[in-house]
């Protein structure tokens, strides 16, 4: 190679070595962090009672609330309440959540709801139900998130909790 190309090749090789070294150092830290998270995550499975109380029970309550809200809103719009219609509505919302094209899935959710429930109620009724359901769930999520944020900020400023956190680390 001519002389200028040797310097360029050397600089690229040196730069590549530095990038690989920095990335491997950061990757090693990240892998260690993921291992620690997995260890903490699997710790709850080691105690079936803790798992049932801290994971399974809240999940079941959450699903029961979602079913309850769906049934209440469908009932308010006069959509027949049967196991089939409730499951179709819930499945439609899950599918719409997987293929969101807009913020909150609005539009996609309504289209899928109308498509799945049109045999049980008028399309305009199903669309109104779907919009109301979406607004209720979005509002509930935002309010719950805001309350959790405010609680965590307040808990973060509590000196007792700060002492407990300091002891753990």
Tens of pLDDT, residue by residue over 36-64, are 888 887 877 778 888 888 889 999 999 99
Q: What is the pTM of this model?
A: 0.62
Dihedral sign computed on CA atoms, order 125, 131, 135, 138: positive
Q: Quick check: 1 pLDDT over 60?
A: no
Six-digit token string for 39? 């260890």
Per-residue pLDDT tens for 107-161?
Answer: 888 889 999 999 999 999 999 999 999 889 889 989 999 999 888 887 766 666 5
What's the mean pLDDT in 73-99? 91
Compute and round to an integer the Cα radius of gyration of the chain. Answer: 26
């Amino acid at each position: 190679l001519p002389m200028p190309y040797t310097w360029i090749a050397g600089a690229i090789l040196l730069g590549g070595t530095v990038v690989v070294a920095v990335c491997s150092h950061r990757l090693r830290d990240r892998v260690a962090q993921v291992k620690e998270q997995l260890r903490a995550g699997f710790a709850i499975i080691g105690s079936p009672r803790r798992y049932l109380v801290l994971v399974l029970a809240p999940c079941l309550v959450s699903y029961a609330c979602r079913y309850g809200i769906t049934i209440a809103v469908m009932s308010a719009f006069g959509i027949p309440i049967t196991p089939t219609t409730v499951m179709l509505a819930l499945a439609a919302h899950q599918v719409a959540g997987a293929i969101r094209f807009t913020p909150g899935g609005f539009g996609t959710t309504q289209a899928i709801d109308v498509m799945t429930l049109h045999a049980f109620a008028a399309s305009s009724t199903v669309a109104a139900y779907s919009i109301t359901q979406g607004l209720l769930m979005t509002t509930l999520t935002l309010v719950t998130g805001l309350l959790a944020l405010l609680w965590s900020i307040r808990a973060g400023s509590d000196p007792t909790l700060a002492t407990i956190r300091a002891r753990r680390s």
